[in-house]
Amino acid sequence: MTLVLVTGATGYIGGRLVPELLAAGYDVRVLARHAERIASRDWSRDVEVICGDATSRADLRRALDGVDVAYYLIHALGGGPGFEERDRSTARGFAVVARELEVGRVVYLGGLYPRGERLSPHLESRREVEEILLDGGAPTVVLRAAVILGSGSASFEMMRYLTERLPAMVAPRWIENRIQPIAVRDVLHYLVGAASVPATVSRGFDIGGPDVLTYREMMQGYAAAAGLHHRLIRAVPVLTPRLASLWVGLVTPVPPAIARPLVGSLVHEVVAQEDDIKQYVPDPPGGLTDFATAVSLALKRIRELDVRTSWVSASTPGAPSDPLPDDPDWAGGSLLVDDRSSTVDTTREALWAVVEGIGGANGWYSWRLGWVARGVMDRLFGGPGLRRGRRHPHHLAPGDALDWWRVEKIVPGRLLRLRAELRLPGLAWLELSVEGEPGERPTFRQRAIFSPRGLPGQLYWWAISPFHAVVFGGMQRNIARAAEQDGQAAGGDTRASGREGPGAPR
C-alpha cells in the first residue's frame, strides 16, 4: 500500500481529495492543527491523523515519516500583510523535510499564470512556492489551475453571487480577459493521478477544462444555467483590483481580504499553454467537464444541501484560533462572562434543534439591527461579517463557519460552542447548552465569554455591556419561545424551522 500525506485536509480541495485517494486504494495520513475538525468528516476513521502545524519542522517530520506521496495544499489566501514570507517559509520547511525523509513524490496545486508578466502578489506567491518545491530535492508535480468550478469554491461563489444579485452591473475591464476554468471533479482526477507519475518526472503542468471564456461569458453562462435573465454588464476602466475587491466584498459573502487575490488573478489572462499532463494522467472517462455542466452540477449540489466542502472550511486568515480554556482556574479570572439560563417548556430534542439550527438564514433570534450593524462594521475592517452563512441549514460540525463564528466544539443534544472570528480586541466565544435530566423540562443556558486583550479589550467589553440585555436577553427568550412552539406543533417535525422570535433577524 502507498502511504499518502494530505496537508490542508480541512480546506476546500483537501477535504474532497482525501475520500478520492481512499477510493483509489491509498493509505491516507492527514496533518491538521485541529483534530476535532477531522473527526466530523465521514472519512475520519479511515485515515491516520497527525496533530500538528505545517510551519513546525518537528511536526512535519512526524507527518512525513514513511510517506510515499505528500500533497502540499497550503496557501495563505487572504493572509494579510506578510503572507508572502509565511508562504515562502512554510514551503521551504516542507521541501527540506521531504528531501531529508526521502519522500517519493510531492504534489502541489498552484495557480495558472501567464509567463513573462508581472503577476499579482498572490499569483506571484504561488509561482514562488512552486519553484521552492520543485527545487527542494524531492520529485515534485505542480498542477496549475485557474478558476475552479464547484459548489463551495471561493471563485465559484464570487461568480454566483455577483450574477444572482446584480441583474445589471458595472465591472472592471478584466471581465473581457480569457480564462480557462476547470471543474473541481477534474482537478481531483488530476491530483489523484499525480500520485502515480514516474519519479523521474519533476515539473509543473497547466490544467484546464475544455472551454476558454471571458469572465463576462462565465457570468452569462451561469445566469443561463441558473434560469436567470441575461445580465447587463458594462466594463469601465476605473475599477482597480483593490476597488473591485471591496465591491465584491459588499455584494458577495466573500470578504475583501479573500476577494482581493481572486480579483488580482483575474487581471491576467489565464489559459493553459500546454496539456502535457495527459502523457501521464489520461483524461477522466467521458472527457473533461465543460463549463455549463460544471455549473449545473454545482447548483445541483447546492440545492440538494450536499456541499461537501466550502471555501469557508479553512481557517480564516488572521482570525483567532485559541480554544476556550476548560481549566477551572480560568473561571472568574481574566474571562468576562454574560451567563443566562432559563427553563423551557418543551422537549430536549426540540430545544436542541433550535440551538443547532441557529444562524445563517435562520437568524440569531435577537436584535436584528444590532447584529446587522456589527456585521457591516466587521466587513469594513476585513472580517467575515454575517455573510458566510452556514454549510447546512440544520446540522453543524466542528470547524464549520457560522456567519462570523466558527464551531469550536459540539456535543450533540448538549453543547454548541462558537468562537468569534470578528475583528476584536480579545477572544470571544458563545456557548449554548441544553442541561437537565432526561424526562424533565430542559434548561437552556447561554454564555457569552470574552478574554480581553489589554485595556482596549476591557473598554470594549464595558462599552457593549449596556446592549447585552437586548442582544443576549432577547436571544435567550426567543430561542426558548421558538423551541416551545416547535415542541408543541402537533405531528410537526421538531427540527428547527427557522421560526424566529420577535425581533430575530432573518
Half-sphere exposure of 378 (CA within 13 A, CB side): 25
Q: Which residue is listed with cell 476547470?
A: 182
Q: Which of 16-30, 110-124, 130-144 has the lowest mean pLDDT?
A: 110-124
Give phi and psi for 138, each to the nearest 5. Answer: -90, 140
Taking only the tens place, the pLDDT of each residue in 363-388 is 899 888 888 888 777 777 767 777 77
Mean pLDDT of 54-65: 95
What pLDDT does 490 receive?
36
- pLDDT category of residue 329 using cuts at 50, 70 and 90: very low
Cα distance between residue 136 and residue 69, in whole Å: 15
Mean pLDDT of 473-489: 88
**% of residues, the chain, pLDDT over 70:** 90
**% of residues, the chain, pLDDT over 90:** 50
More confident residue, 136 or 267: 136
Cα distance between residue 112 and residue 432, in whole Å: 44
- On the question of pLDDT at 328 being above 60, the answer is no
Q: How far from chain centre, in Å, is Cα 298?
A: 16
Mean pLDDT of 186-193: 97
Q: How far from chain centre, in Å, is Cα 415?
A: 23
- On the question of pLDDT at 312 being above 70, the answer is no
More confident residue, 495 or 429: 429
Beta strand residue intervals within 89-163, DSSP E? 105-111, 140-145, 148-149
Q: Nearest-CA neighbor of 353 among 476, 447, 484?
A: 484
- Domains of the chain with bracketed CATH: 3-145+179-212+268-313 (3.40.50.720), 328-488 (3.30.530.20)
Mean pLDDT of 44-72: 95
Please calculate the CA angle 53-58-64 and round it to the nearest 5 degrees. Answer: 80
More confident residue, 80 or 64: 64
What pLDDT does 415 receive?
94
Q: Which of 71-85, 440-454, 472-486 has the lowest mean pLDDT?
A: 71-85
What pLDDT does 79 receive?
55
What pLDDT does 434 receive?
94
3-state secondary structure of 103: coil
Q: Which residues contact 196 (CB under 8 A, 6 or more apart)?
A: none
- On the question of pLDDT at 193 being above 60, the answer is yes
Taking only the tens place, the pLDDT of each residue in 430-467 is 999 999 888 789 999 999 999 888 788 888 888 888 88
Characterize the bridge pairing of strands 232-236 and 336-343.
unpaired
- pLDDT category of residue 82 using cuts at 50, 70 and 90: confident
Q: Which residues pair with 422 in a beta bridge?
A: none
Q: Which residues contact 81 (CB under 8 A, 6 or more apart)?
A: none
Q: Could you write out the DSSP letters of every residue in 4-67?
A: EEEESTTSHHHHHHHHHHHHTT-EEEEEES-HHHHHTSTTGGGSEEEE--TT-HHHHHHHHTT-
3-state secondary structure of 401: strand
Q: Which residue is listed with cell 467575515?
A: 384
Characterize the bridge pairing of strands 168-172 and 232-236.
parallel
Grid coordinates belonging to 28: 491516507
Q: Indicate the pTM of the whole model.
A: 0.76
User: If DSSP states are collapsed to H, E and C, what string results for 389-411?
Assistant: CECCCCCCCCCCEECCEEEEEEE
Grid coordinates belonging to 411: 456535543
- pLDDT category of residue 325 using cuts at 50, 70 and 90: low
What pLDDT does 343 receive?
93
